[in-house]
Each structure stands twice: as C-alpha cells, then as structure tokens.
C-alpha cells in the first residue's frame, strides 16, 4: 500500500494491486477535489472568524475606553469632594443605626461578658469606624445600661465564606 499526499493536511491510501491504473487516478482526483473544497471552506471560515474576532476586539476596546474614562471622572470628582480613603484605613461608619452594626456591638458586649464574667447590658452603638482587611475590623464606641457606661470594642468580622469566627480583639472603658 502506498500513500499519496496532496499536502501536509491530507494523505490518501492507494493500493496498486487492487485497483486498475485509471481508477487510481480518479481516486486521486476526487481526493484532491474534496481537499480543495474543504480547504476553501476552511479558508472562508477563518476569514469570517477573523472578521468577527476583529469586530469583537474593537467592541472590547471601546468598552474598555468607556470604563476607563468614567473611572477617571469618578476619581476626579472624588478628589474634588475631598474623599481620600485608602484601602486598609479606618473609615467612619456613617450609619451606626444599621442593624448589622448594632448586632456587631451587641455581640461584642455578650462576648466580653462571656470572657470576663461581667453582666453588662448592651444599649447601642454610639459611633464607629471600620477597616476592610480580609474581612472587616470594627472599632465601635458602645453605650451600656445597668451600669450606664461607655466602652470601645474592636471586633474582627471575617469574610462570610471564611472558616474563621468573629473575634473580640479588645474591649475597654472610655
């Protein structure tokens, strides 16, 4: 058995003893014709894919330019407004009445009571700051009742999907 190669992509097996000479040439011609049609279809498909690829690239480039332009505008307006927060810094909590923040404060008092054996009663979170790390650090100024007093609690609240638990880092009278 011999192999006739029309190019590197296709080779046609030819059996010299099994087929007469004129049939063998027909097989070669048919194989070449099939290869040519396949080759043309592949070329047309690659040209169409290339055009789609270029179109996609242009759309992506335009979208990137729009996002970059809007980000620059936002940064400029933030600087003009005097907002200068960097990641890792403590930032004032604007809404300390938020139920989640109040819940963190209540948890801090209960955890302090568990650790020390005291019996403080949570009243409210008066003010606070938060720091985004691998979770959130809360520095909360708390009011208690019976006895009425003020405390500062630092609580680490891990990310929701973390295996870590909430931790009371410090609790002191202010």
Q: Has residue 146 been placed in a domain?
A: yes
- Structural domain containing residue 136: 90-171
Give one DSSP letter per residue of 19-84, joined into a string. S-HHHHHHHHHHHHHHHHHHHHHHHHHHHHHHHHHHHHHHHHHHHHHHHHHHHHHHHHHHHHHT--
pLDDT of res. 53: 72
Mean pLDDT of the chain: 74
pLDDT exceeds cutoff 80 at 38: no
Between 74 and 100, residue with greater pLDDT: 100
User: pLDDT tens across 71-83, in order?
Assistant: 444 444 344 444 4
Let me know the angle formed at the C-alpha of 85 by 77 and 162, rounded to the nearest 5 degrees. 125
Q: Has residue 99 been placed in a domain?
A: yes
pLDDT of res. 112: 96
Between 12 and 43, residue with greater pLDDT: 43
pLDDT tier at 28, thresholds 50, 70, 90: very low
> From CA 91, how far away is CA 137, in angstroms rounded?
10
Domain total of the chain? 1
- To the question of pTM greater than 0.95 for the whole model, the response is no
Q: Has residue 131 been placed in a domain?
A: yes
pLDDT tier at 84, thresholds 50, 70, 90: very low
């Amino acid at each position: 058995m011999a192999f006739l190669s029309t190019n590197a992509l296709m080779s046609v097996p030819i059996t010299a003893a099994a087929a007469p000479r004129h049939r063998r040439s027909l097989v070669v011609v048919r194989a070449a014709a099939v290869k040519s049609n396949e080759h043309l279809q592949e070329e047309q498909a690659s040209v169409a894919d290339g055009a789609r690829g270029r179109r996609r690239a242009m759309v992506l480039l335009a979208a990137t330019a729009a996002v970059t332009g809007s980000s620059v505008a936002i940064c400029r307006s933030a600087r003009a407004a005097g907002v200068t927060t960097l990641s890792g810094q403590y930032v004032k909590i604007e809404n300390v009445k938020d139920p989640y923040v109040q819940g963190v404060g209540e948890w801090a008092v209960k955890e302090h009571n568990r650790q020390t054996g005291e019996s403080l009663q949570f009243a409210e979170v008066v003010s606070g700051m938060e720091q985004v790390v691998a979770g959130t650090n809360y520095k909360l100024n708390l009011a208690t009742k019976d006895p009425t007093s003020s405390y500062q609690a630092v609580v680490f609240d891990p990310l929701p999907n973390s295996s870590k638990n909430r931790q009371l880092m410090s609790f002191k009278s202010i």
